[in-house]
Amino acid sequence: MSDAGLIERAVSEVLEENPDSAGMFRSGETKVMNFLMGQVMRKTQGKADPAAVRDALTRALQK
């Protein structure tokens, strides 16, 4: 699945549910990205394109 809208929505939900992890990433703890990616993949039942998820997460975390 590479539907940008669905991926963006899942990313937003994951970041809302895990504000501590998002904060850790923003403070330099890059290993947290794997956890956040896993949460998005779980929300999309493993159907999301991992590269698209990583890109969406990176954009969302840089805001």
| Number of C-beta neighbours around residue 37 at 10 A | 18
pLDDT at 3 over 90: no
pLDDT 10s digits, 18-42: 999 999 999 999 999 999 999 999 9
The fold of the 4-61 domain, in CATH, is Arc Repressor Mutant, subunit A (1.10.10)
pLDDT of residue 19: 95
Distance in angstroms (rounded) separating the CA atoms of residues 59 and 57: 5
pLDDT of residue 63: 79
Do residues 7 and 48 lie in contact, with contact meaning Cβ atoms separated by under 8 Å? yes
Sign, CA dihedral 28-19-32-5, equals negative
